[in-house]
Structure 1
Amino acid sequence: MQTTILANIPSPPQGVWYLGPLPIRAYAVSIMVGIVLALWLTHRRYVARGGNADMVWDAAIVAIPAGIIGGRIYHVITDADKYFCDTCNPVDALKITNGGLGIWGAVALGALAVWALFRYRKVPLAPFADAVAPGIILGQAIGRLGNWFNQEIYGRPTDLPWALDIFYRVDENGEFAPLTGRSTGEVITSVHPTFLYELLWNLLILALLLLVDRRFRLARGSIFALYVAGYTLGRFWIELMRDDAATMILGQRVNTWVSAVVFLAAVAVFFWLQKRRRVDPAETE
């Protein structure tokens, strides 16, 4: 008796559904679910640390739009050839729901907005930063599901059993439409599911952050620094597996360089915080 073993991870047949004229995009839904879960976890952690719950919602009000804008700006800058070329439509740079948010820009501008809010309210930022760090990486993990639906952020072709099948998608006129179309069932290629690698890595870092936060007494701000270091470490090796079009610097993808630089900076900040704590014990939570 012959047994058929399922191999390869299939891509979803489509990434957009319609309720009448209203498009429901899986990418946007994934991001929104990630934000909700991040807020839930942040609220629990910040309140448990004695923080004011209202500050969580106030921070969300400034961080979410700032993060989306920052993420899109980073993506457009580092992938400018997709939006500003002879055959490109620059208006596409504004179409966030089609995919393309750079986490570097999102965290940077979102953090800047939260810093400004906490400074204005005269509330210490470090305890909130440590409370929000696990929530951010949880949100990032959920958000990667949007890349699966969009058939993007994948790696090189592979014949491994967990390879991701990329389907040929067409619109209602039969024209190739990778983002908004439906699958014809034809497999274009089978690739490393780097979206899944990053999702699992993020969940691993989430678990480690929660464990470290529970087991050790670190200087304020340390958990956020560990989040940045952990995420960028994973992003570095995942970027090395990708071969889709990207801005290159000295033969490496721009995100590979950014990951390495930010990782080193985060590690330096972590050890600086511990040194500062030894000088001033009040810096310990």
Structure 2
Amino acid sequence: MIGRLGCIVNGDAIGGVTSLPWAFIYVNPNAMVPAELAGVPVHPYPVYDMLWNGMVLLLVWTVGRRLKKDGLVFLGYLSMYAVGRFIFTFVRQENVWFWGLQEAQVVALLILLATSAVFALNFIRSRQVSSRSAGGA
């Protein structure tokens, strides 16, 4: 989240053009904003990212204490980060990479697929262990 403050100052991670009242307008000629977007209202992508990560942190902090198996908190964080990255990258100014998606979105989908598979395997294994325990009692 702190790194995104630098993105706000530098203008190196900006969103697309918008008319929303909370848009950022970069006027500093030293900002890393593309020349065609200087002085133009753009989505404050870094702010969206910071807010999402703050919500994910709160959720992981509260729910994470209840998870008993090692690594599930980390998997949950990765999954939620990937969801946010996929969604918010639609407003970010980046080159389209694959299937009409940006590189970050493709990577986010791959992470989401991988974490979903690990969650599913953990769920299946825990059901097998609990059914063996119930059968042996």
Deviation at 1:276?
2.9
* Aligned equivalent of 1:188, options 31, 39, 43: 39
| Cα separation, partners in 2 of 1:251 and 1:217, compared to 1, 3 Å | closer
| Cα separation, partners in 2 of 1:247 and 1:157, compared to 1, 3 Å | closer
CA distance in 2, matches of 1:158, 1:239: 15
Instruction: Return the TM-score normalized by structure 1.
Output: 0.41
1:274 maps to which residue?
123
CA distance in 2, matches of 1:264, 1:257: 11
CA distance in 2, matches of 1:274, 1:217: 13
Partner SS, residue 39 of structure 2: strand
Instruction: Return the TM-score normalized by structure 2.
Output: 0.81
After superposition, what is the alpha-carbon deviation per residue over 1:233-280, rounded to whole angstroms, capped at 9, x for unaligned? 000011111233x35123221111111121121122123223334445
| Cα separation, partners in 2 of 1:157 and 1:247, compared to 1, 3 Å | closer
CA distance in 2, matches of 1:218, 1:278: 15
2:31 maps to which residue?
178
1:248 maps to which residue?
97
Partner SS, residue 167 of structure 1: coil
Partner SS, residue 268 of structure 1: helix
The question of 1:218 aligning with 2:72 is answered no
Opposite residue 259 of structure 1, the aligned amino acid is A
What count of residue pairs does the alignment treat as equivalent?
125
2:81 maps to which residue?
231
Which blocks of at least 5 consecutive residues in structure 1 are unaligned? Answer: 1-140, 170-176, 180-186
Opposite residue 206 of structure 1, the aligned amino acid is L
Written as runs of structure 1 = structure 2, the 5 A alignment for 1:77-116 is none
1:133 maps to which residue?
none
CA distance in 1, matches of 2:104, 2:47: 18
2:6 maps to which residue?
146
- Structure 1 runs (4+) greater than 2 angstroms displaced: 273-281
- RMSD after superposition: 1.9
CA distance in 1, matches of 2:73, 2:98: 31
| Cα separation, partners in 2 of 1:279 and 1:219, compared to 1, 3 Å | farther
The question of 1:205 aligning with 2:52 is answered no
CA distance in 1, matches of 2:128, 2:2: 39
CA distance in 2, matches of 1:273, 1:143: 33
| Contact 2:13 2:93 survives alignment (8 Å) | no
The question of 1:258 aligning with 2:80 is answered no
- Identity among equivalent positions (%) equals 32
